[in-house]
Structure 1
Amino acid sequence: METTRGLEATRALTQVRTVLSRAETARKILDGPTEYHTSDDAGGIDFDRGKYEDPDAAEMRAALDQVVELLSRWRKTGRATSSTPGA
C-alpha cells in the first residue's frame, strides 16, 4: 500500500508545492487571453496595436505540462500535519 504525502508538511514539500502551483498558474496564463503589446514610451500598454501570443508559448506550455505532471504526486490533499519530529 502506497502512503500519501498529501497531508504532510515539510520545508521541501512546501517548496515543491510552490513550484507546482506557480507552474499551474503560468499554464493558465498561457491558455488565457493573449497579452497586449507595450508601448515604446514609459512601458505602458499600447491598446492600438492589439494583442499577441508569446512566440515561445507552445514550448512553454509543453515544459509546464511536464513540470505539473512530475510534481503532481506531492500535491497538497488536505490540512497539513507536521512530519518533522518535535515540530
Structure 2
Amino acid sequence: MPIDPAYPPDRMTYMLEDSGADLLLVYGENVEVPPAYAGTVLNLADVSLYTGEPANLPAISGVSDLAYVIYTSGSTGQPKGVTVVQRG
C-alpha cells in the first residue's frame, strides 16, 4: 500500500498497524519511519539488496489473491483501508 512520506506520523502508524504490514519499503537517506513500527524496513536505495541470483522468483499468487490496499481519507477522520482484488 502506498504511504505518502508527507503524512503525519500518527496517520502512518495507524495505516501500518491497521493493515498488519510486516514489511515497509522506503527509498532514500532521510526517510522517517514511525518509531512505533515493529516490522522490517528495507531501504531500496541500499545497493546491497541487489546482489545475488538475478533470476525471477516463481509466482506464488493467483487470480483470487489480494492485489493491493489503498487507504482513503476516511469520512470519520480515520483512514479507511480499501482492498482491490485482482480478477482473472
Question: TM-score band (shorter)?
Answer: under 0.3
Comparing both chains, which one has the higher relative contact order based on Cα–Cα distances under 8 Å and sequence gaps of 6 or more?
Answer: 1
TM norm structure 1: 0.23
Larger Rg, first or second structure (1 or 2): 1
TM norm structure 2: 0.23
Structure with more strand by fraction: 2
Structure with more helix by fraction: 1
